[in-house]
Amino acid sequence: MAQYSRIEVASVMKEQGMVPLFFHSDVELGKKLLKACYDGGGRLLEFTSRGDFAFEVFGELNKYAIKELPGMIMGVGSVTDAAAASLYMQLGANFIVTPVLREDIAIVCNRRKVLWSPGCGSLTEIARAEELGCEIVKLFPGGTYGPGFVKGIKGPQPWTSVMPTGGVSPTEDNLKGWFDAGVTCVGMGSNLISKEVIANKDYEGLENKVRETLDLINRLRR
C-alpha cells in the first residue's frame, strides 16, 4: 500500500523539481544508487519496469526505502497496463508513470488515490488525462517536443502541470529551457544515473550530481 497520497506526491514533485529514474536487476546495487540519490537530497525515485522480475526488485528496494530512508517516495515507471499498475501498488508504489495514456491505469490508480502520470504528446491527450484526474502530465519523449511545446500548451492551459522525460540533462542551459517554459518538474534517467556511474559504482559522484542538480533547479526557479 502507498505510504503517500497523490496530493503529497505531487507536492514533493513540485518542491523538488526532479524525479530521478533508473532500472537495474541487482537489488544491492539498486539500494546503493537509491541511497546516493537520497543522500544528495532526492526524495523521489522512479524505478522503471523494464526487465524480468522487475517487480521483485522494486519490492525489495521499496522495503529498504521505507526502513532506511525516511521520506523517500518510490514509484514505478514504464507501466503499460492496469494489471501491472495494480501489482506495483500492492508492493507499495507511491506513483505510477506510463509511456502512454491508458484509461485502465487511470481507473485503478484513482481508486487507490495513487498519483499516475501518463505519457502524452498532444494537447488533446493532455486534456483527456486531466479529465481523468491526472495531477502532473508526463511529456514523452520530452526531447522530441522540447520546451517550446510546453510553453505553447501553457498558453491556453496555464493550469497544466508538466513533467518532461527524455531529452532532459543536468546542465544549466537544458534545465533553464524547461523551467523557463513552465514545467513543474523533470524526469531524468541516464543523463543523471549514467552507465558510467553504474559500471564504476561511483555512488559518491552520483550523490554530488543529484545535490548539484537540485541546487541548480532551485536557482533557476527563483
Of residues 190, 133, 192, 188, the one with CA closest to residue 161: 133
Domain 6-217 fold: TIM Barrel (3.20.20)
For 17, 19, 47, 180, the CA distances from 113, given in Å and listed in that order, are 22, 20, 19, 30
Per-residue model confidence as pLDDT tens digits over 116-147: 999 999 999 999 999 999 999 999 999 999 99
Give me the mean pLDDT over the 166-193 stretch. 97
Give me the mean pLDDT over the 148-158 stretch. 96
Res 212: pLDDT: 98
Identify whether the C-beta of residue 126 lies closer than 8 Å to the C-beta of residue 153. Answer: yes
- Listing DSSP states for 109-178 in one string gives HHHTT-EEEEEE-SHHHHHHHHHTT-SSEEETTHHHHHHHHHHHHHTT-TT--EEEBSS--SSHHHHHHH
Give me the mean pLDDT over the 7-26 stretch. 97
Res 201: pLDDT: 96
The mean of the pLDDT values for the chain is: 97
Give me the mean pLDDT over the 138-158 stretch. 96
Does pLDDT of 51 surpass 90? no
Of residues 136, 130, 90, the one with CA closest to residue 115: 136
Identify whether the C-beta of residue 140 lies closer than 8 Å to the C-beta of residue 112. Answer: no
Does pLDDT of 89 surpass 90? yes
Give me the mean pLDDT over the 9-25 stretch. 97
Q: What is the pTM of this model?
A: 0.96
Give me the mean pLDDT over the 151-174 stretch. 96
Give me the mean pLDDT over the 91-108 stretch. 98
Give me the mean pLDDT over the 143-165 stretch. 96
